[in-house]
Structure 1
Amino acid sequence: MNRQGNSAVLAEARRRDSLDKRQCVLTALATLERDGAKITHAAVPRTAGVSTWLTYTDGIREHIQAARHRQTSATATPPAPRTPTTAGLLAELELARQEIKDLRQERDRLRH
């Protein structure tokens, strides 16, 4: 077999290996999502048995981001509306007054 033939065989083997690893990542991602495990760029390759850098490559990163988004949107609950209290409003008003006073002093200092 000539050199060009060997190169083609090696290139095809690398391509098949890459496809296999990508499929392992997608399977691991589906397993983590199904089990309700936290999906991270460290957990996915650990589950799939591949290196972490693969999770950041095009075609894989997007799947992980989508799964993480689905996971956070499924567990996210909207925060309860907060009604301001009188004490809280008075504290905010006092802080605003102090900030205005400090800004006026700084302005006067800069003018002189």
Structure 2
Amino acid sequence: METLDQTHLLVQENEGLLQESLKNISELEAAVGAREERLQNSVKIIEDQEESLRTRDEKICELEGTIDCLHSEMDKKFEEAVEVFKRSDYYRTTIGMVGVCGHEMAYRKSHE
């Protein structure tokens, strides 16, 4: 009878240990589930940031293209303005005066 009582006590202890183990397993599963959820949230945040960076890079490329186009247009307009200015009377008169003044100064210096 003693061995039966001892066996019964051992079974009860084992049941207690088993219950405690099951409780620990449940807590670990809950912790793992919470960690998985945090990881999924982190992955979602990273994916959103990657998409945001791609969108930003696309906008930068578009702006760079626009800037290049504007520079090209500015260069053309400047060249057109220079050509118009060169055909103007003001330009011809100014260049003529500079030429005359330059010759006069050279003449004066050579005769000093």
Relative to the length of structure 1, the TM-score reads 0.31
Higher Cα radius of gyration: 2
Query: Which of structures 1 and 2 has the larger relative contact order (alpha carbons within 8 angstroms, sep 6+)?
Result: 1
Relative to the length of structure 2, the TM-score reads 0.31
